Structure 1
Amino acid sequence: MLARPKDPSLEKRLLESGWDLLAEGGFDALSMSEVATRAGAHRSDVYRRWTTKAQLVAEVLAAHLPPVTSRDTGDLREDLRHFLDDLSRSWRAPWTEGLVGFLAELPKDPEAEVTFLNTAKHRSQPLTEAVTRALRRGEITELPDLALLQGLAEGPLIHKRLIGRQAMTPSELDLLADTITAVATQGGPTR
């Protein structure tokens, strides 16, 4: 008996359905069954790929989060400001509403946690590149603690969005870029 040929667009449809559901109702409202229904698939198609909802959502985020790009403007502060613009665009999107429920599930699901942490690491790469370029140009003399700089970048964005229920304004992003630059250039904590 011949196996049924795989549908090359099925995984893409499942991830798109997951993204739509995450944006519409958040993590708690998303179900594996609804992802399958929206994608025109069977529940078994979903469970064959992801055994938990957290694994599915981790891959949905990896596939659909707005990109964070690396720009070399020749100036650390400007590179940081572009990085913050990209992060801010991402944090303004509706998917953030479901983030708290998703993060609460990660400790229970090591596979989903690894996927999510790899996505976060990839998204922080432009910051690492900006700081490395600044070090080469002599704007900074020591490599600062990159985890601290990443926390300084995303922490206020997350807080303003999830607690304040608003996006950061351009002037707030300017102030944040100034703050991160000051920490990186004026003897902030180093590795």
Structure 2
Amino acid sequence: MGGPEVKRRPGGRSARVRAAVLDATFALLRSRGLEGLKIAEVAERAGVHETSIYRRWGNRENLLLDALLEVTEGLRVPDTGDLREDLTAYARDLAAFLATPLGHALEHALAAAGDDPDAQRARDRYWDTRSARSRQIVTRAIERGDLPDTVDPRLVIEMLVSPVHFRVVLTREPVDPDMPARIVDTLLGGIARG
């Protein structure tokens, strides 16, 4: 017979290291943007060895992607069975996230990232992942028969979130509480006839 079974504790050292590295990544993203993010500086700020970061994430791109997805995990993809309600809730949650200091900083970091290949790949993977998740709202509506099957789910989501991102990044205006519902009503008024 073998010895007692060893069980890993959730929230153990691995979770603490991950949290410290992601916190350091967020702090550096806020202060320097995507292009200024260096693994060595993340490691120093997190109090871990660079090798620990490379062992877990492999490269800077994977660390960036994990950090960006982690911070936006709270952007739920609602599934109430009502397209208008789901789209409005999604746009409202996005606006609320982007109004936070971290959301604002990450949005600007994503928008400002230049041609650095790692940053570009991380940004592309981030948007592809977020888009795939949020398109489920529209896909479910098509499956329920609420929208014609000719509707492009990606285009609907892009049309939904673009005005919110436009306000935050370009005009730096606040997103008023009624704006998400107005966007959705305008959007649905146009696509329902499509």
TM-score relative to the length of structure 1: 0.75
Partner of 2:107: 96
Percent identical:
27
Rate the CA distance shift 1:113–1:138 in 2: closer, same or farther, 3 A.
Answer: closer
Q: Tell me the distance in 2 between the aligned counterparts of 1:46 and 1:136.
A: 42
What are the ranges of 5 or more consecutive residues in structure 2 without an aligned counterpart?
A: 1-11
Superimposed CA distance per residue, residues 68-108 of structure 1 (whole angstroms, 9 cap, x where no aligned partner): 22334443222210111122123322322211243643577
Q: Which residue of 2 aligns with 1:119?
A: 129
Contact kept, 8 Å, 1:26 with 1:96, in 2: the verdict is: no
SS in 1 for 2:159: helix
- The equivalent of 2:167 in structure 1 is 160
Q: 1:70–1:161: structure 2 CA closer, same or farther, 3 Å change rule?
A: same
RMSD: 2.9
Corresponding residue number in structure 2 for 1:87 = 94
Amino acid at match of 2:106: W
Which residues of 2 match residues 126-165 of structure 1 at below 5 A? 127-129=135-137, 131-165=138-172
Q: Which runs of 5+ in 1 are unaligned?
A: 1-5
Distance in 1, matches of 2:136 and 2:160, equals 12
In the alignment, the residues of structure 1 paired with residue 144 and residue 56 of structure 2 have an alpha-carbon distance, to the nearest angstrom, of 46
How many pairs align?
Answer: 178
Q: Tell me the equivalent position of 2:9.
A: none
Aligned partner letter, 2:126: F
Contact kept in structure 2, 1:68 and 1:123, CA below 8 Å: no
- For 1:120, give the aligned amino acid: R
Deviation at 1:158, TM superposition (A): 1.5
Counterparts of 1:1-191 in structure 2 under 5 Å?
Answer: 7-9=13-15, 10-50=17-57, 52-92=59-99, 93=103, 94-102=105-113, 104-106=115-117, 110=121, 112=122, 115-124=125-134, 127-129=135-137, 131-187=138-194
Separation of aligned partners in 2, 1:67 and 1:100: 20
